[in-house]
């Protein structure tokens, strides 16, 4: 019997458990739904990259990807009925909106005699599966990581032969929005796998190089993980580096925290921070957004974001700390700006990492850990190569917009007000 494979955050054909499950049923209709609830809030860089990944997937499918637009509750049912499908297969969506949407779609399908089948997820281990002995979720990364390693994960799914159904009528993949001079990564599964092979062949020592934005020490695989052009298990099977394995575990941890605390996408996990004194300085925020704070490593990071839709992870922490603890602005402002410009913008990783820096999240950095942007620059960009890459030498560069030592003290005083310390 025919089945539908509804692609979402799994835009690939290899190591795809849901695809294998659908193919075992019979002929498969490949479906993608353009959902305004997801498209509307997405930034242009993320949309442009995603449309490119859809084009690459459609090419792999020989042009047989059915593109529809509208309410998934209506469109998925119509697609299934158009080919007489008895099952709709998906990778589990673990984000708050996706869970709510999928429950509604599954209900409509069931009312029409069509089964909803979830197999796999965008994570090494699906959120919600790792718990303490008493069934409670982990709130701290280190014990989560130990449990994550003990639990382990399946080997990559084997390749399977698929008899794809030719859709009768499909929309064209939308034209990618203009991102100006921004240089985006090459989209698609083939590009992801090549990037990964090149990283492995390069001999880069990730543990030593990952904190140096001036050096090519990171994988830059995050945009492909975001859209499922590669599955984390595909990476894990090749990994001997425990540090990099830990970064994949952090990704799973943040997804698990959001699974158990959906409101953490918008609100403080630690409710004490609801009452911390913050500023409402839009002008200061704009200087931060434009990379005009007067602190080179902060400004280079913010300009890299605007130029590439990506930012080095160490620098993400530095610029986030500056916004929250030097400018005393809400972490939500920074998180929203990141999501608007990041190609790899992922709700769980982005929001929970911001909360980690702000001190309001699960397993948060101690609030008194305030990154000094000057010493961070000297330590991780010792020759200034990273800063010069994004700040022209002939620029009339501004003086520092704040006195870091003073603002650090202000941040600690305000933290003391909500903790009584």
Partners of 32 in beta bridges: 67
Tokens, residue 320:
């986030």
Sole residue written with tokens 């589990």? 92
Sole residue written with tokens 């159904």? 165
Q: Dmax over Cα atoms in the chain, in whole Å?
A: 69
- The answer to whether 321 is annotated as binding is no
Torsion from C-alpha of 247, 41, 280, 291, nearest 10 degrees: 60
- The answer to whether 222 is annotated as binding is yes
Contact 199, 225 (CB under 8 A): no
- The answer to whether 10 is annotated as binding is no
Q: Return the H-helix or E-strand segment holding 185.
A: none
- The answer to whether 275 is annotated as binding is no
The pairing of strands 65-69 and 87-90 is: unpaired
- The answer to whether 218 is annotated as binding is yes
167 sits in the region (left: phi over 0; alpha: psi -120 to 50; else beta) called beta
- The answer to whether 346 is annotated as binding is yes
Three-state secondary structure along 110-162?
HHCCCEEEECCCCCCCCCCCCCCCCCCCCCCHHHHHHHHHHHCCCCCCCCCCC
- The answer to whether 344 is annotated as binding is yes
Chain-centroid distance of CA 71 in Å reads 24
The binding site for FAD comprises 206, 218-222, 344-346
The binding site comprises 206, 218-222, 344-346
């Amino acid at each position: 019997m025919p089945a539908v494979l509804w692609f979402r955050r799994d835009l690939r054909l290899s190591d795809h458990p849901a695809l294998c499950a659908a193919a075992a049923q019979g002929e498969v209709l490949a479906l993608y739904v353009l959902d305004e609830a997801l498209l509307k809030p997405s930034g242009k860089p993320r949309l442009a990259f995603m449309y490119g990944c859809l084009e690459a997937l459609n090419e792999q499918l020989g042009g047989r990807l059915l593109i529809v637009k509208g309410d998934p509750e209506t469109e998925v049912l119509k697609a299934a009925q158009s080919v007489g499908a008895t099952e709709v297969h998906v990778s589990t969506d673990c984000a708050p909106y996706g869970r709510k949407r999928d429950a509604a779609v599954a209900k409509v399908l069931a009312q029409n005699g069509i089964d909803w089948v979830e197999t796999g997820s965008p994570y090494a281990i699906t959120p919600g599966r790792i718990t303490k002995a008493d069934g409670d979720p982990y709130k701290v990364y280190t014990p989560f990581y130990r449990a994550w390693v003990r639990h382990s994960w399946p080997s990559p799914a084997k390749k399977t032969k698929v008899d794809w159904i030719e859709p009768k009528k499909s929309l064209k993949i939308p034209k990618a929005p203009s991102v100006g001079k921004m240089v985006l990564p090459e989209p698609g599964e083939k590009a992801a796998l090549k990037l990964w092979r090149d990283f492995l062949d390069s001999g880069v020592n990730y543990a030593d190089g990952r904190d140096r934005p001036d050096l090519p020490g990171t994988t830059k695989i995050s945009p492909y993980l975001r859209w499922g052009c590669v599955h984390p298990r595909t990476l894990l099977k090749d990994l001997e580096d425990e540090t990099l394995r830990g970064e994949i575990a952090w990704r799973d941890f943040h997804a698990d925290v959001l699974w158990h605390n959906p409101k953490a996408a918008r609100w403080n996990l630690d409710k004490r921070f609801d009452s911390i004194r913050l500023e409402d300085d839009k002008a200061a925020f704009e200087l931060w957004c434009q990379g005009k704070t007067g602190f080179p490593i902060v400004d280079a990071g913010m300009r890299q974001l605007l130029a590439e839709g990506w930012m080095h992870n160490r620098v993400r922490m530095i610029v986030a700390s500056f916004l929250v603890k030097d400018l005393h602005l809400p972490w939500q402002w920074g998180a929203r700006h990141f999501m608007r410009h990041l190609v790899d913008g992922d709700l769980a990783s982005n929001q929970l990492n911001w909360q980690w820096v702000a001190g309001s999240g699960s397993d948060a950095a101690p609030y008194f850990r305030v990154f000094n942007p000057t010493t961070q620059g000297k330590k991780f960009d010792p020759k200034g190569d990273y800063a010069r890459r994004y700040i022209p030498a002939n620029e009339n560069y501004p003086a520092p917009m704040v006195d870091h030592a003073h603002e650090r003290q202000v941040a600690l005083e305000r933290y003391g007000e909500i903790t009584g310390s």
